[in-house]
Amino acid sequence: MNMTLRILGSIASFAHTRWLAGLLVVAAIAAAGCEQALQVAPTSSVLVLSAAANNVPLNGILPLTATVTDPTGKPVAQGTLVSFSSTLGVMDPIEARVSNGRASTRLLAGSISGLATVRAASGGIISTALDIRVGPVPARIVMASSITVNNGANLVATVFDSNGVAVVGAPVTFTTTAGTLSSVLATTDALGQAFTTLFGIGDSVVTAESVGIKTSLAVRFGSIGGSLTVNIGMSNTTPIRHQTIVFTANVTGLGGLTVPIQRYEWDFGGGVVVTTTGNTTSRSYDTEGTYSLTLRVYGIDGSVGLSSVQFYVD
């Protein structure tokens, strides 16, 4: 009887020991899984996001790579988690693990054109944003106005891409410094045009903006000389670095009449303002990026005009 009890006790003790050992193994596996799930780049790491190109067609696919290194330039640990985000389109996958210092993903562009801002992150480390042009992205806006009865001015904003082709279906937002707009949001039609009407009694500046690109136009009601319609033309709508760009001002008065101009003030930003008596000027850029030009035109009869344009230099 005692021998039987000792044997049963031994069996129970052995089973308990096996159970504890199994529990420890499961706990260790779970801990390892949690550790890998939380494995992110150390705070001193360097995270660089790169793409095969800076543009992608509608419904296209663009591969991207995140390179993650420690402060000495060595790849971080295998399996380090990197997440991806974009303001336009879809990232596939939105998370990836590092292998040999790199994590890969793709931008699925979708059917909406615009500028996609893509970022990668791991823990508290965030990469510098990449701006990817999706589809026919607006690169330039041309505005014109005509004064109508009852203190109303009809305004049209025509949106062009970097190749000078009208962009269809682009959202355009209108703002004004004075007066009231019949519509503050419009979509370009088959000709790339968006419309609104300004109602007012005094001077105002109306701005049209689409996907970060904008232009402005001065409108005057009932003032001597009235307002001038100013459009800025460029010798090359797809300029590159170190290339001389010739800017030309096309100016008309009310009803399309020609108005003698006193001076043109070309504001390139950063304190660079060029004043001319002719309707052209030129400039080149040493670095890639988005630039703007604001032009103020003064007629000898007291009329004024204002326009601005943004453009991308490759």
Asked whether residue 20 is assigned to any structural domain, the reply reads: no
Query: Is there a domain that residue 25 lies in?
Result: no
Residue 3 in any domain: the answer is: no
**Mean pLDDT of the region 273-287:** 94
pLDDT tier, 5 (very low <50, low <70, confident <90, very high otherwise): very low
Instruction: Report the percentage of the chain scoring pLDDT > 70.
Output: 83
Among candidate residues 134, 150, 175, the one where a domain is terminated: 134
Same domain, 147 and 130: no
With respect to residue 30, please indicate whether it lies within any of the assigned structural domains.
no
pLDDT at 28: 43
- Please give the average per-residue pLDDT across 158-187, as a whole number: 88
Do 197 and 295 lie in a common domain?
yes
- The model's pLDDT over 32-64, given as tens digits with 9 standing for 90+, comes to 444 445 688 888 889 999 998 888 888 899 999
* Segments forming the whole domain that contains residue 203: 140-313
Give the model's pLDDT for residue 24.
47
Last residue of a domain, one of 84, 119, 134: 134
Q: Say whether both 122 and 147 belong to one domain.
A: no
In a domain, 9, yes or no: no
Q: Is there a single domain that holds both residue 96 and residue 155?
A: no
Question: Which of 64, 121, 131, 55 lies closest to 91 in space, CA to CA?
Answer: 64
CB 36 within 8 A of CB 30: no
Is 192 in the same domain as 289? yes
Examine the domain organization and report whether 197 and 264 are in the same domain. yes
Q: How many residues does the chain have?
A: 314
Domain CATH for 99: 2.60.40.10
One domain, residues 116 and 231: no
The number of distinct structural domains making up the chain is: 2
Phi-psi region of 143 (alpha: psi -120 to 50; beta: other; left: phi over 0): beta
- Per-residue model confidence as pLDDT tens digits over 144-157: 877 666 678 889 99
Which pLDDT belongs to residue 280? Answer: 95
Per DSSP, the residues of 2-32 read HHHHHHHHHHHHHHHHHHHHHHHHHHHHHHH
Confidence at residue 219, expressed as pLDDT on a 0 to 100 scale: 78
Give the neighbor-by-neighbor strand order of the sheet with 245-252.
Answer: 229-234, 245-252, 280-283
DSSP single-letter state for residue 258:
-
Q: What is the pLDDT of residue 91?
A: 96
- pLDDT score of 64: 96
* Nearest Cα residue to 210 out of 236, 228, 198, 192: 192
The mean pLDDT of the chain is 82
At 151 the pLDDT is 76
pLDDT, tens digit (0-9, with 9 covering 90-100), for 74-109: 999 999 999 999 998 999 999 999 999 999 999 998
Domain boundary among 91, 109, 134: 134
Q: Are residues 173 and 299 in the same domain?
A: yes
In a domain, 14, yes or no: no
Task: Read off the pLDDT band of 8 (50, 70, 90).
Answer: very low
Q: Is residue 145 domain-shared with residue 130, that is, in the same domain?
A: no
Mean pLDDT on 156-163: 86
**C-alpha–C-alpha distance, residues 283 and 285, integer Å:** 7
* Bigger pLDDT: 265 vs 71: 265
201 phi and psi angles, rounded to 5 deg: -135, -5
Q: Are residues 183 and 302 in the same domain?
A: yes
Burial of 216 (0-12, 13-18, 19+ CB in 10 A): buried
Does residue 121 share a domain with residue 247?
A: no
Q: What is the pLDDT of residue 194?
A: 95
Same domain, 99 and 157: no
